[in-house]
Amino acid sequence: MASERMEQLVRTEYKQGFYTDIESDTLPPGLNEEVIRHISMKKQEPEWLLAWRLEAYRHWLTMQEPHHWAHLEYPRVDYQSISYYSAPKSKKDGPKSLDEVDPKLLETYEKLGIPLHERAALAGVAVDVVFDSVSVTTTFKEKLAEAGVIFCSISEAVREHPELVRQYLGTVVPREDNFFAALNSAVFTDGSFVYVPKGVTCPMELSTYFRINQANTGQFERTLIVCAEGAQVSYLEGCTAPQRDENQLHAAVVELVALDDANIKYSTVQNWYPGDEEGKGGIYNFVTKRGECRGDRAKISWTQVETGSAVTWKYPSCVLRGRDSVGEFYSVAVTNHHQQADTGTKMIHIGAGSRSTIISKGISAGRSQQTYRGLVKVLAGAQGARNFTQCDSLLIGDQCGAHTFPYQEIANSSAQVEHEATTSKIGEDQLFYCQQRGISEEDAVNMIVNGFCKDVFKELPMEFAVEAEALLNVSLEGAVG
Amino acid sequence: MNQIERLGDLPSLLADPQQQAKLTPQQAQAAQEFCRLGWPTTRDENWKYADLKALLKQGFQWDPSLVKLEDTQLEAAWLPLATAAIRLVFVNGVFAPEHSQQTAHAQVSYQVTTPAEHPLTAAYPAQVAQDKKANAQAAFCALNQALGKTQLQLKVQGCLDTPIYLVYLSTQASEQAYLSLSQLKVEVASGAQATLIEHHLSLGSPNNCSHRQAQIQLDAGAQLKHYYIQELANTDQHLSQLDVYQTRDSHFTSQHINLGGKWVRHDLDVVLAEPGAHVELDGLFFAAGRQFIDTHTRINHAAGHTYSQENYKGILNAKAQGVFNGRVLVQPQSQKIEAHQNNANLLLADGAQINTKPELEIYADDVKCSHGATTGRLNEEAVFALRSRGIDETQARGLLTLAFANEILDNIEILAIHQRIEEAIAGRLPAAYNLKGVL
């Protein structure tokens, strides 16, 4: 029976679930100004950053967790039961090469199917590995340095390039932006910093693998990418997390700044632990991602494949300030079991001639609930702004839900804004057509689902596209509607 | 209590037990409900763009003894319908029998009563799956229940081949603006068919505020065509709540036309409660000057094998602001449904603004749902195509705008309405859009 096979496949276990036992230097749970001072001290941060964090914290205290608008249901997070700092114990100077890296850590990446050195060498990818909250190893630094590209952990950037960090940090996502951004601003412990100078095309794709490992540690990543005039960079972010029973909070902030003619491509494959079949456990993924096309003809492109997390709250957005700037958002989101995802994008058209494209594909199975929530806003000055939005949802099983809440706020008559959305299940006729040509039901479903997502996958860098297709097949293979 | 200095103070006034003592128990209960709910604010998702601040600052009175109709030109204002089964006229919400045409009909019966005598109950049974986001105008409906003076009950029992025509007039009753509250309850019996025209218009330019709450129930196999034509003066404020409850194989079509009003808010909630229910909502609004027109529609597919189709179009000029929020909810277990929604908006000037949100919320998998929303101005290539055939530019723009509206107007089967609206659109177009000699 098709439905039985579907059951079977839907029950596929989280293949990346394991736990690496590394001693950690962890703060006791709780959040207060002392904790923030401690984090700042541990990171050897300058005075201004501590003040900045404390201001964010004080503002955060006045804010309420947003529970009323998102289409999500989850128990409230007790922010005092989370530990805000966790660093793998390392030698004073830290590892200088792969040989010095904790073998257990390398083993973890082996299990994930990411042979770090091989991958780095063969694919020419520099990996700034974030394990829990501290960068452990960075590769290909010299090659990047030759091109003048700065790629390091944000803590390192604070120490070595304070003027750049201070100039851009919090300018795209202000501290007061939202509850989770304020929390992140107060307690962020790590993340990446990229600066591509004027006219430089980054010689390789930059990549970071995030891992959550310690039980009860939230991760508060802060990523800042700045592309100066005419510069180009492609950044890859991928996530997997070990199987844990308790919900873990992840509240990252990603800021992108593109000056004149700059081009930033940001790709994500997210496969955090989604909780078990009963909806127990899993990661809370409350992320604020925003890019600003500050210069004319700048371009920011977000591509994401979201398959994990118990609860996702994520809206990678573009502020199109420059003339003729371009924003793009390509997304595939897959939810299964009891997963909930409220995701989408915002395109704010400020500059004349700014253009944006939104392609969102949602696949909802099991008892999961998935929501696309998007905003296209055209301000009065955005002459000739153009947006095209397409969001399609595929339903697998009669217990799941797929929802679409697209907002359009248009205040310029020369703007052209289009939105279209469809929701349906895999057609019996489509399946029949494939099967009568000798393709098994399972393969047919895979084919149809992959075809459904093709528009997004083709935007991914090659190695990510392979990973994404594999992920999709693992999550849904043979899930026949 | 028949007037208030600031409408915003009404909750504190009604909370007074002495005031409540003057009401019937049910009305007092409604007053308490109103005080509990309070006025909606823009922090409420349903009222995100509809700011009540200006309205709540105004003073109103609602003394029906002051309502009188002096204008003898009344008949020129309403639709020249060839035939109408009955015509009922309400002036500032108060029934005006002297202007009504109350022919006896076997297929339709009606009664004008008050909310005090016949309090409106919930629009549909509690066991039918509800939409959590419905009842946006709950506060206004409670107010209507507490202070309203008029309720019209209509019952259709057979196939009525001539329309029922309801005229709602807004007039300057006294020096102070009038707050008119009225209720309408329509029941179309099993297998019955009817056409209902609701026509809201102003005489002169009063700055009244009217709230109309309506409930329509369609029994098995019933069919109703509903025309809602709002041509209030650009000084008038208007709110309306319509709840439609559809049972097995019933058929409801709505033509919702909005041309006037300074500040207008509509909520159309349709519940498809049993298999075979079919609904089609068409709407057109044209806002100019500083008009604000906000329409929220909600279609609740509470049963399988139901069908909905929705097409709303907006034209905005000058500094007008339009809001469209179309919501389609498919309840769990409502399999084999089809829901399609379309919203298109034409902006004629840079100061105009449109906020649209076509929402789909789907909890069943065997569904065919789609929605689309577009906003833009006239296609320059289409303008060029007409010009290349010798039509001058202003006329080309006029024709294309009319063609945009015609997608909705073409479904209007009553010629008098069709012509009236076409002319109204032509009359409201800016100078660069000319339809002279075309209509």
Output phi, psi for A461, to 5 deg.
-60, 155
Each residue's pLDDT tens digit, A269-285: 887 778 777 777 788 88
The whole-number pLDDT of residue B81 equals 81
Each residue's pLDDT tens digit, B325-349: 999 999 998 999 999 999 999 999 9
Range from A145-159, B33-47, B352-366 carrying the lowest mean pLDDT: A145-159
Judge whether residue A418 has pLDDT over 90.
yes
The reply to whether residue B347 touches residue A412, judged by beta carbons under 8 angstroms, is yes
The reply to whether residue A401 touches residue B363, judged by beta carbons under 8 angstroms, is yes
Is A3's Cβ below 8 Å from some Cβ in B? no
The closest alpha carbon to A204, from A236, A172, A250, A180, belongs to A236
Which residues neighbour A475 within 8 Å (Cβ) at sequence distance 6 or greater?
Answer: A12, A307, A334, A336, A365
The whole-number pLDDT of residue B72 equals 65
The whole-number pLDDT of residue A337 equals 85
Q: Which of A400, A403, A407 sits opposite B361 (nearest CB)?
A: A403
The complex scores an ipTM of: 0.88
Which pLDDT band holds residue A424 (cuts at 50, 70, 90)? confident
Nearest residue of B to residue A406, measured between CA atoms? B357
Q: Which of B362, B377, B397 to mutate to test the interface with A (most CBs of A within 10 A)?
A: B362
**Does A431 or B56 have the greater pLDDT score?**
B56
Mean per-residue pLDDT of chain B: 93
Stretch B112-130: mean pLDDT = 91
The whole-number pLDDT of residue A475 equals 64
The reply to whether residue B345 touches residue A401, judged by beta carbons under 8 angstroms, is no
Is residue A337 within 8 Å of residue A298, measured between CB atoms?
no
Which residues neighbour A220 within 8 Å (Cβ) at sequence distance 6 or greater?
Answer: A84, A133, A183, A184, A187, A188, A189, A251, A252
The reply to whether residue A410 touches residue B353, judged by beta carbons under 8 angstroms, is yes
Is A432's Cβ below 8 Å from some Cβ in B? no
The whole-number pLDDT of residue A7 equals 52
The minimum CA-CA distance between A409 and chain B, rounded to whole Å, is 4
The minimum CA-CA distance between B373 and chain A, rounded to whole Å, is 5
The reply to whether residue B335 touches residue A396, judged by beta carbons under 8 angstroms, is no
CA A190 to chain centre: 15
The whole-number pLDDT of residue B395 equals 93
In a domain, A19, yes or no: yes
In a domain, A205, yes or no: yes
Each residue's pLDDT tens digit, A252-269: 999 999 999 999 999 988
Q: In total, how many domains does chain A have?
A: 1
In a domain, A169, yes or no: yes
CA angle, A120 then A126 then A131, to 5°: 95
In a domain, A481, yes or no: no
The amino acid that residue B13 corresponds to is L
Range from A33-47, A283-297, B226-240 carrying the lowest mean pLDDT: A33-47
Question: Which contiguous run of DSSP H or E holds residue A360?
Answer: strand A355-365
Is residue A405 within 8 Å of residue A370, measured between CB atoms?
no
The minimum CA-CA distance between B320 and chain A, rounded to whole Å, is 10
Stretch B313-321: mean pLDDT = 95
Chain B residues whose beta carbon lies within 8 Å of the beta carbon of residue A411: 350-353
In a domain, A145, yes or no: yes
Stretch B353-365: mean pLDDT = 93
For CA atoms B60, B62, B68, B72, give the dihedral sign. Answer: positive
Judge whether residue A329 has pLDDT over 70.
yes
In a domain, A310, yes or no: yes
- 3 state SS of A160: helix
Nearest residue of A to residue B374, measured between CA atoms? A418
Which pLDDT band holds residue A14 (cuts at 50, 70, 90)? low
Is residue A165 within 8 Å of residue A154, measured between CB atoms?
yes
The reply to whether residue B353 touches residue A413, judged by beta carbons under 8 angstroms, is no
* Structural domain containing residue A411: 2-476
Percent of chain A with pLDDT over 70: 77
**Measured distance CA(B200)–CA(B236) in Å, rounded:** 11
Nearest residue of A to residue B366, measured between CA atoms? A425
Is A430's Cβ below 8 Å from some Cβ in B? no
Chain B residues whose beta carbon lies within 8 Å of the beta carbon of residue A398: 332-333, 335, 364-366
Range from A279-283, A355-359, B133-137 carrying the lowest mean pLDDT: A279-283
Chain A residues whose beta carbon lies within 8 Å of the beta carbon of residue B376: 415-418
The reply to whether residue B362 touches residue A393, judged by beta carbons under 8 angstroms, is yes
Q: How far apart are the first and last CA of chain B?
A: 50
CB pairs under 8 A between A and B: 119
In a domain, A125, yes or no: yes
Q: What is the DSSP letter of A217?
A: B
Cα dihedral A178→A181→A186→A189 (10° resolution)? 170
The whole-number pLDDT of residue A478 equals 43
The whole-number pLDDT of residue A239 equals 59
Percent of chain A with pLDDT over 90: 45
The reply to whether residue B333 touches residue A398, judged by beta carbons under 8 angstroms, is yes
Judge whether residue A112 has pLDDT over 70.
no
Q: Which of B312, B360, B380 to mutate to test the interface with A (most CBs of A within 10 A)?
A: B360
Range from A69-73, B28-32, B34-38 carrying the lowest mean pLDDT: A69-73
Nearest residue of A to residue B354, measured between CA atoms? A410
**Measured distance CA(B400)–CA(B419) in Å, rounded:** 17
Report the half-sphere exposure of A419 (CA within 13 A, side-chain side): 32
Q: Which of B349, B365, B375 sits opposite A397 (nearest CB)?
A: B365
The minimum CA-CA distance between A445 and chain B, rounded to whole Å, is 16
Judge whether residue A411 has pLDDT over 60.
yes
- 3 state SS of B200: strand
Stretch A3-8: mean pLDDT = 52
The whole-number pLDDT of residue A461 equals 79
